[in-house]
Amino acid sequence: MASVKLTNVKKVYDNNVVAVHDFNLDIKDKEFVVFVGPSGCGKSTTLRMVAGLEEISGGTVEIDGEVVNDLQPKDRNIAMVFQNYALYPHMSVYDNIAFSLRLQKMPEDVIYSKVTNAAEILGITDYLMRKPRALSGGQRQRVAIGRAIVRNPQVLLMDEPLSNLDAKLRNQMRAEIIKLRQKINTTFIYVTHDQTEAMTLGDRIVIMKDGFIQQIGTPQEVFGHPNNLFVAGFIGTPQMNFFNDCQLTLDNDEYAVTVMGTRIALTRQQQEKLKAAERKPGGVIVGVRPVHMRIDQDGFSGKIEVSEMMGSELHLHLSVGDSDVVAIIPTVGLDLSEYAIGKTINFSFSPDLMHLFDPETTNNLI
């Protein structure tokens, strides 16, 4: 298998539009890394540079220690699964999967063994003689993955492979990709705009915006310790609540933050981080995830504007002063009549689950 290393990789188009800025990443052998971000952030362009489908404007791409900038895609020992499947409609499933092997002039008995093994792994053995038009979207995507893995590539690249599927199929295929990963032991680079896919699939997530890396980390790291406001708002559903115009104060060498007129003392760990950074008192943005809100009769008051019953959870959209706040509360033992639209409830949150952001740099301070 192979490691992948991108060093100062850059992509500039002819009209001087910079699609990817100074991209640096070390991907370990057999690691599953996900590039995630909004449309136009440069994630697919970066993937295509690894594949050799886009020319690199600057920097180097290495696969298993070899610089591949000038190598053709066929010489990189990678395979790619595209968003639109890219199957040959006139060929059977078997012939689609076998196509690249026949180009390599492999013996038919070897091809048969490889194709049937891949089909068994993906659960498509019964469809080998069918044409792609006779398959569902999820089955076609399995064929596209089979065509990629049958070559035993060092690196498997996947460019939004589930975006054409409905929600139920996406969930099923996510589980299939997790199972597949255990069976083929290759290095995965996966591109998506769906942060749920990123969180459930990746060993590490690379979050991008406007061609820049915003944060690289495990799902737990980017959820629990977002680098900045963008990451905090992008990762997590529903997105993090933000309280603007809050004040960080320093009295008797102790920091506190005032949120909507209420003073909240910070934890020892938060105090130490702010003191180490010599943070001066002033305006801050406070962020709290909806799942970290709790019902508290002594807390802030908010009017329920929308109440969404999600089965085990209730999503409450609250009007709190000038802020819109979302709170997620468990429904076990809950009297739903107390949380109807128009009702007023009180809520709070624990200081250790709170984030402070610099209004100018947007960086997370704690």
In this structure, the answer to whether residues 90 and 117 fall within a common structural domain is yes
What does the alpha-carbon distance between residue 314 and residue 330 come to, in Å, rounded to a whole number? Answer: 6
What does the alpha-carbon distance between residue 124 and residue 122 come to, in Å, rounded to a whole number? Answer: 6
Q: In the chain, what's the furthest Cα-to-Cα distance? A: 80
- Supply the range of the domain harboring residue 98: 4-231
pLDDT in tens, 262-301: 999 999 999 999 999 999 999 999 999 999 999 999 999 9
What does the alpha-carbon distance between residue 326 and residue 319 come to, in Å, rounded to a whole number? Answer: 9
- pLDDT over 90 at 51, yes or no: yes
What does the alpha-carbon distance between residue 2 and residue 155 come to, in Å, rounded to a whole number? Answer: 7
**Domain assignment present for 363:** no
Mean of the per-residue pLDDT values of the chain: 93
In this structure, the answer to whether residues 262 and 326 fall within a common structural domain is yes
What's the mean pLDDT in 242-267? 93
- pLDDT over 90 at 14, yes or no: no
pLDDT in tens, 175-212: 889 988 888 889 999 999 998 999 999 999 999 999 99
> What percent of the chain has pLDDT above 90?
79
CATH number where 290 lies: 2.40.50.140
Q: What is the 3-state secondary structure (H, E, C) of 235-277?
A: CCCCCCEEEEEEEEEEECCEEEEEECCEEEECCHHHHHHHHHC
> pTM, whole model, 2 decimals?
0.91
The pLDDT of residue 188: 96
pLDDT in tens, 303-352: 999 999 998 999 999 999 888 999 999 998 888 889 999 999 999 999 99
Of 199, 231, 263, the position where a domain reaches its end is 231
Query: Which residue is listed with tokens 């915003």?
Result: 214
**Domain assignment present for 362:** no
What does the alpha-carbon distance between residue 350 and residue 287 come to, in Å, rounded to a whole number? Answer: 12
**Domain assignment present for 364:** no
Q: Please confirm whether the linkage preceding 238 is cis (ω < 30° from 0).
A: yes
- pLDDT over 70 at 1, yes or no: no
Q: Find all residues with CB under 8 Å of 119, minimum gap 6, and list them.
A: 93, 94, 97, 125, 127, 128, 146
